[in-house]
Structure 1
Amino acid sequence: MKKILLPTDFSDAATNAFVHALEFAKIVNAELILLHTFEIPIYDSQFFPENYASIYNSIELANFEMFKDEIPKLRTIAMERNLQDIVIKHRLMDGDLIYNLKNAVKEDQIDFVIIGTTGVSDWTKFFLGSNTNSVISEVDVPVLCVPIDAKFKSIKTIGFTTRYREKDKNELRKVLKIAKKTNAKVKSLYVKTSSSDVSDATFKDWEAEFANDNVDFLIIPSDDVKEIILDFILYKDIDILTTIKHKKSFFENLFDSGFSKKITKEVSVPVLVMHET
C-alpha cells in the first residue's frame, strides 16, 4: 500500500478522518493525498453576459483561498502527533465529488480511501448501493469509513466478517498484512444462520490454511446477523470492523439505517470495506 486518498471538506468529520489517515499512513508507510472538490453553479450566460467569467473566477478563487487557509491547520495536527514526516499532497478539483474521486483513484493509483462520516445519513448514503453516487459502489479500492465520534486509538483487534467464500481468503490475507504491521489480532466472525450452506469441512479448511496466522475464527449460530455483529464489536473489543462488499442485496440489508445508527451511536468504530476480487 503506497497511497491513501482522503476526500475532505474541512469539516469536523473530515478532520477526524484526517487523523486516522495520518496514523494509518504511518502504519503502512504510505503517502497521503488530500482531495477537496467544489461544484460551480451552472449559470445561463445569456442572463449574465458580462459577469459570466467573473462569477466562475470568484468561486474558484474563494475555494482556493479556503484550501490554502485550511492546509496549514492540518499540517499543525500532523506536527502535534509527531507525524510531520508523512508525505502529504493535495488536489483541488471542481465538479462532482464522486466523479473526481474516481478520477483521482485512477490517476494517482490510489490503494486506499479514507472518508469521514457525520452520522446515520452519511452511513446510509455511503453504504447503500441504491444511490449511484455511493462512494463504496463507485470505487474499487478498500474504503475506511470513520464515524465522527471514532477517536483514533492503537489498533489491537481487527474484526473480519466473512461468509466463507473462497474469494474471502484474499481479503483476509490483506487484513492480516495490515494487522501484522500493528501487531494486531484478527478475529474472524461468521454468523451461521438456519439457511447457512457452509459445511464443517469448509470451516476446518480455513482454520488449517490460516493456522500459522494471528487470527481466531468465531462461528456463532443465529438468525439475527446484525445483533451478533454488534455484540461482536462490543464484547470482542474490535477497533476496526472489516466487511466485504458482496452482492448488493446482502450489503444493503446489513447496513440499513437502523443498523448504521446502532454502530454510530453505540460503538463508533471505523468500518473497512473490502471489495470482492
Structure 2
Amino acid sequence: MKNILLPTDFSDNSWNAIVYALNFYKDANCNFYLLHVSKLSTVVTNDYPYVPAQGIIEDVYIKPTKKQLRAVLKKISENFPKNKKHNFYTLTDYNFFIESLREHLEEKKVDVIVMGTKGASGLSKLIIGSNTGDVITKVKCTTLVVPENAKFIKIEEIAFPTDFSLSNDLQILQPIAEILEENNASLRVLNISKKSLGLNIDQQKNKELLEDYFYNHKHSFHFLTNKKVEDAIQCFVESRDIDMIAMVAKNLNYFQQILFHTKVEEISYHTDVPFLVLHE
C-alpha cells in the first residue's frame, strides 16, 4: 500500500496535481492524504506577537478548511469512477508549511508527495512556486511536481539528467525503476556539459553503475554540449517527447540550473512536464 500526500491550497494548480496523481496511481493500492496547512495571521500588539486562541483557530481556520477539503473529496467522487484500490483521508493543520509536512510524512509513513506548481511565465526568481521549491529542497521525500499545464498521459519516456556524480546508494533510483517497470517505459540518461570534455574516471565508473542498475529496463545514454543546461533540456524534452523528468536532489549543480534560475522567458518544460525529485 502506497501512502501519497497531496498538499492542497484549493487552487486550480493543486487540483491539477490531484487529477494527475489519481490517474498516475490508478492501478496501485494507495492511501491518499489531502493536506491543507493554514497560515495563522499573527498580530503584533505592544511589540509581542499575538497568536489567536484555540477556539478562534478552530472557528476561523480549521472548520472552513475541513469544509473545503470535503468539497475536494466530493469533486473527486464526481470526476472519477470509484476505485476500490484508493482510500482518501483529509488532514488540516496550522503551522509552518514545511514543519507540518515533515510531521505528517513521519506520522503517515508517506512514500511520495504529489504537488502542483505555477509555471514560469514572467517569474524572475523561482520557476516553481515557493512552497513547492521549499518542499523539493528541504523535505527528504520522493516528490512528484505537477506543473499547471501537465496532463496525464501514459509514461513512455523519462529523462534523467545527471552529471554522473552519484552516491554509492543506488536505491535512491528505485522509484524510477518502479515507474519504468509499471509502464514498460524507457529511460533516457542525459548528460549536459558546457564544453565537450568527455567523462572523468569517476563519472565513467558511475555511468557503468547506472548501466548495471537499469540493465533490465529500456534505457539509453545521451550527451549534449550547451552552455545553458535549461536550453539543452528544453531541446531534449521536445525532440524526444519526454513525459517525465527525474532528478536526484543531491545533484545540486544540475538541480539548481534546471529548476531554479533567473531566466524570465517561459520555458515550456516547466509548465508541461512533471518532475520526479528523488532524495537520499
1:201-240 equivalences in 2 (<5 Å): 201-202=204-205, 203-204=207-208, 206-207=210-211, 210-240=214-244
Q: Which amino acid aligns with 2:200?
A: V
Counterpart in the other structure of 2:70: 68
User: What SS class does the counterpart of residue 25 from structure 2 fall into?
Assistant: helix
The question of whether the paired residues in 1 share the 8 Å contact of 2:117 and 2:132 is answered with: no
Distance 1:263 1:21 in 2: 21
2:260 corresponds to 1:258: no
Q: CA deviation at 1:186?
A: 1.3
Q: Which amino acid aligns with 1:99?
A: E
Q: CA deviation at 1:174?
A: 3.1
Distance 2:253 2:215 in 1: 32
Task: Return the TM-score normalized by structure 2.
Answer: 0.81
Distance 1:260 1:240 in 2: 21
The question of whether the paired residues in 2 share the 8 Å contact of 1:43 and 1:52 is answered with: no
Counterpart in the other structure of 1:245: 249
2:128 corresponds to 1:123: yes
1:165-176 equivalences in 2 (<5 Å): 165-167=165-167, 169-176=170-177
The question of whether the paired residues in 2 share the 8 Å contact of 1:242 and 1:273 is answered with: yes
1:142-153 equivalences in 2 (<5 Å): 142-153=142-153
Identify if the C-alpha distance between structure 1 residues 150 and 242 changes in structure 2 by more than 3 Å, giving closer, same or farther: same
Residues 127-162 of structure 1: per-residue CA shift (max 9 Å, x gap): 76xxxxx11122101111111111111111111112
Task: Return the TM-score normalized by structure 1.
Answer: 0.82
Identify if the C-alpha distance between structure 1 residues 45 and 177 changes in structure 2 by more than 3 Å, giving closer, same or farther: same
Q: CA deviation at 1:67?
A: 2.5
Q: Percent identity, aligned pairs only? A: 25
Distance 1:191 1:154 in 2: 26
Q: CA deviation at 1:247?
A: 5.4
Identify if the C-alpha distance between structure 1 residues 124 and 85 changes in structure 2 by more than 3 Å, giving closer, same or farther: closer
Residues 175-219 of structure 1: per-residue CA shift (max 9 Å, x gap): 122211111111111113426653484345643554332211212
Structure 1 unaligned spans of 5+: 129-133
Between the two proteins, the alignment pairs up a number of residues equal to 266
The question of whether the paired residues in 1 share the 8 Å contact of 2:116 and 2:132 is answered with: no
Q: CA deviation at 1:90?
A: 1.4
The question of whether the paired residues in 2 share the 8 Å contact of 1:192 and 1:220 is answered with: yes
User: What SS class does the counterpart of residue 9 from structure 1 fall into?
Assistant: coil
Counterpart in the other structure of 1:188: 189
Structure 2 unaligned spans of 5+: 47-51, 121-125
User: What SS class does the counterpart of residue 258 from structure 1 fall into?
Assistant: coil
Q: CA deviation at 1:61?
A: 2.4
User: What SS class does the counterpart of residue 223 from structure 1 fall into?
Assistant: coil
Identify if the C-alpha distance between structure 1 residues 251 and 67 changes in structure 2 by more than 3 Å, giving closer, same or farther: same
2:124 corresponds to 1:113: no
Identify if the C-alpha distance between structure 1 residues 65 and 204 changes in structure 2 by more than 3 Å, giving closer, same or farther: closer
Q: CA deviation at 1:225?
A: 2.1
Q: Which amino acid aligns with 2:247?
A: T
Q: CA deviation at 1:37?
A: 1.6
Q: Name the stretch that deviates more: 211-220 or 51-60.
A: 51-60
Counterpart in the other structure of 1:138: 138
Counterpart in the other structure of 1:156: 156
